[in-house]
Amino acid sequence: MATPYRGIFTIPATPFDEDYQVDWPGLRSVVDFCVECGAHGIVWPVNASGFSTLSDEERLEGMRVVVEQVAGRAPVVLGVQGVSAQHAAMFSRRAREVGADAVIAMAPYTAKIGDIGNLMAYYRAIAAAAQRPVFIQNHSVGTDMSVAVLERLVREIEYVDYIKEETLPVTHKITGLLERQIPTLQGIFGGAGGRYMLLEYPRGVAGQMPGCHVTDVMVRYWEALEAGDLPEAKRIYGLLAPLYAIETQCPGAIYKEVLRRRGVIQSARSRNAAPGVMDEHDHRALDDILRDLEPLFTWPGGQPLRYGVDHPTSDATTDGPSDATVASRGELAPFDRQ
């Protein structure tokens, strides 16, 4: 049996160009960033990747791109969630074809499944098509599954070996699952960006699957816990807490804005994003948060962070200075407006 997966399995965000088309070179850059930050695994496309804004064709092509770019440097877990068993099986076959190491799937996220028989059929279809380890992502966007339902899925379906638990109370569900001593369960991973990792770790989680914008910080946080250095883990959590707060206040905006500021991608554009998700105060708050986190950054490709320059107003249609004007002042290009 292969060594069970453990550690920070980070989730690359999907960048878009000025026409809101997938920026494929940018995605390759994000993948390299994740690997170079020390991620123990790569997970794409799931919620933090913006999978629901991608076409099926983009997801299928992106699977190839991600596996190709990782090039064996870390395990790759591909998101195969679909609106039905047949839809998810199509993605699962593609994951197997391109050489993924494992797959992950929420339950269907348009018409939710409440029947255990249909849930079993959905995950059986995924496992049969992928023929490699399957992570069940238990998330309220899909179906909030009970400990009893999760236990049955893991016990009865070959390849269903892992759970990513993100439904509340997440800590109680983790303990409930581990207390059942399911022999085929290889590990439980946490989510929610690592917000609960300090509480999840002593309960026995095998790892975390956070957004990728501060992968190097998350790796240091995990390694502190693994080393038994609780004071250091608490110190890092304290520096991350304001980032978690602003992520909640500005949903869907922070991951890619941080990647843009770190020089990983050119634009923080997101499809279907509400205009003005971040106002000037949010940008200045992010300045302060990143100043505190910067000493923890280890990415070898790091550039000077983009701080506090030409923040947009809350009016998404307001024109800012041109890139040429900004360049003439020796400043950085303004944040890309939605």
What's the pTM value of the predicted model, to 2 decimals? 0.91
Query: Do the domain assignments include residue 257?
Result: no
Residue 107 clears pLDDT 90, i.e. is over it: yes
Residue 302 C-alpha from the chain's centroid: 20
Q: Can you tell me the distance from the alpha carbon of 3 to that of 23, in angstroms, rounded to the nearest whole number?
A: 34
- Check residue 276 and give its pLDDT: 86
Q: Considering the domain boundaries, does residue 165 fall inside one?
A: yes
Question: Max Cα separation, the chain?
Answer: 64
**% of the chain surpassing 70 pLDDT:** 91
Region 307-327: mean pLDDT is 42
Range of the domain at 195: 7-228
User: Is 109 in contact with 52 (CB distance < 8 Å)?
Assistant: yes
Show Cβ contacts of residue 171 under 8 Å, excluding neighbours closer than 6 positions. 196, 199, 200, 203
Q: 87 in the Ramachandran plot: left (φ > 0), alpha (ψ -120 to 50) or beta? A: alpha
Is there a domain that residue 242 lies in? no
| Alpha carbons 78 and 64: distance in angstroms, whole number | 10
Residue 113 pLDDT greater than 70, yes or no: yes
CA 166 vs. chain centroid, Å, equals 12
Report helix angle 254-261 to 230-249, nearest 10: 110
For residue 118, is it within any domain? Answer: yes
Total number of domains in the chain: 1
Does residue 263 form part of some domain? no
For 46, other C-beta atoms within 10 Å of its C-beta total 26
Segment among 13-27, 210-224, 313-327 with least mean pLDDT = 313-327
Sign of the dihedral defined by the CA atoms of residues 304, 310, 313, 316, in that order: negative
Say if CB 197 and CB 205 are below 8 A apart. yes
Nearest to 6 by CA among 175, 179, 206: 206
- Give the CATH number of the domain where residue 116 resides: 3.20.20.70
For residue 52, being part of any structural domain is answered with yes
Average pLDDT over residues 145-166: 98
- Averaged pLDDT, 174-186: 98
Structure tokens at 67: 């596996």
**Residue 115, both tokens:** 């029947």
What pLDDT is attached to residue 275?
80
Instruction: For residue range 55-81, list pLDDT tens digits in order.
Output: 999 999 999 999 999 999 999 999 999
In a domain, 254, yes or no: no
Asked if residue 327 is part of any domain, the answer here is no
Q: Give the N- to C-terminal CA distance of the chain in Å, as an integer.
A: 48
